[in-house]
Amino acid sequence: MGARRKKFGGSLAVTTRHLGALRFATPGKTLSLICISTFALMAPQVYFVTGANKGIGYEAVRILAEKFGDQAIVLLGTRSLKNGEDAIAKMKQANSSFDYANVHLVEIDVSNKESIQAAADFVKANHGSKEGYEMCFQVSVYGVYETLAAFQPLLVPHQSTNIVVSSGAGVWVLAALSPELLAIFENFNALDIDTLHGLLDDWLDAYHKKPSKYSWPPLQATIGSLPKPAQMILCLIRTKIVLEKWFVLVLEGFHIGAYGFSKIAVLALTRKWAVDHPESKTMMVCPDYCATYLSNHAGYLTAAQGAENVIYPLFHPEATETGGFYRECQPQAFYWPMPAEFQK
């Protein structure tokens, strides 16, 4: 006689926003599972500081390197690699307890167009690989699907709830799609995981300026999903403002695009999951903009308030329905243009 798989009544919350752990709790053979991963930690953040072998640029590199450690790669831009090497040696001498292994040299003369382009090509080749995008989609899309699929057999029919924590960035991107793509994502019942994989790969091709089947909206369509400080930095980059002959580039283009497009994919797959698995109640929740590590603590809600938004469906089953999307404890539309204040 084959071994039986135990079933549990309970809830499954899948989130791609904060770092946490798995916990099995449970009197009465119920399962309480919180499956939590983090998009923000999927790869080191890359910072590029020019004119960084001395002065303000030097101090910016030092502070970034020490503050973020192995969570960041700090590119020290310098006209002379020898001067850059001397700058790193100076840092090590001043603080022998830190090895500054996360500081890398990039030769660049910001007064020379060819030098700037060569530096950009170097950064793209060494720090702009597709790995970041693919990791984002693995965490925010495929990981969600695989978690739902793996735990579905453990849940007691008609007694279990799946909560997928998503983001309002997804509905902003949906509203920015071309009519052709909008029709594809709105017809979510026709989107299986392989089809979604193909769509996300097509987006990657378009982003890398390769031939793509569809016309995807520009990255600016999801800039609102970034904290205001990051938006400000990106504005500085786009308008080529240089402060005191040095500036910092936060290389997070893949965060902008991949994050937003991963959210339209996860919304589509979760809506389809809800239809295909009516024996479990499945819904999506946006915790809203919370002051956590992911937002550099810039959100207007505390992490606890965000958590209350996430678990709201568990305490108010009568006010929620399977396949629904909720924000601030209220139903959220799946098509919602980015608010004007986020586009400034």
Give the three-class secondary structure for 160.
strand
What is 8-41+131-226+255-342's CATH number?
Answer: 3.40.50.720
Q: What is the pLDDT of residues 26-69, one digit of tens each?
A: 334 434 333 333 344 345 677 888 788 888 878 888 998 998 88
d(CA 230, CA 236): 10
DSSP letters, 210-228, are ---SS-PPPGGGGGGGS-H
Confidence of residue 259 (pLDDT cuts 50, 70, 90): confident
Q: What is the mean pLDDT of residues 151-170?
A: 81
Query: What pLDDT sits at residue 235?
Result: 33
Strands (E), 145-288: 155-165, 248-250, 281-286
In this prediction, residue 319 carries a pLDDT of 92
| Per-residue confidence (pLDDT) for residue 276, from 0 to 100 | 95
Burial call 52-77: b when 16+ CB within 10 Å, e when fewer: bbeeebbebbbebbbeeeeebbbbbb
Q: What is the mean pLDDT of residues 229-233?
A: 36
Query: What whole-number distance in Å separates Cα of residue 87 and Cα of residue 55?
Result: 10
SS3 116: helix
User: Is 230 a residue whose pLDDT tops 70?
Assistant: no
Torsion of CA 236, 237, 240, 242, to 10 degrees: 60
Which of 9-18, 126-135, 212-221, 232-241 holds the top average pLDDT? 212-221
Instruction: Specify the higher pLDDT residue, 90 or 291.
Output: 90
Q: Are 225 and 264 in contact (CB under 8 A)?
A: no
What are the tens digits of pLDDT across the range 98-117? Answer: 999 999 999 988 777 888 88
Name the residue ranges covered by the structural domains of the chain.
8-41+131-226+255-342
> What is the Cα–Cα distance from 172 to 194, expressed in whole angstroms?
24
**Whole-prediction pTM value?**
0.63
Residue 129 has pLDDT above 80, yes or no: no
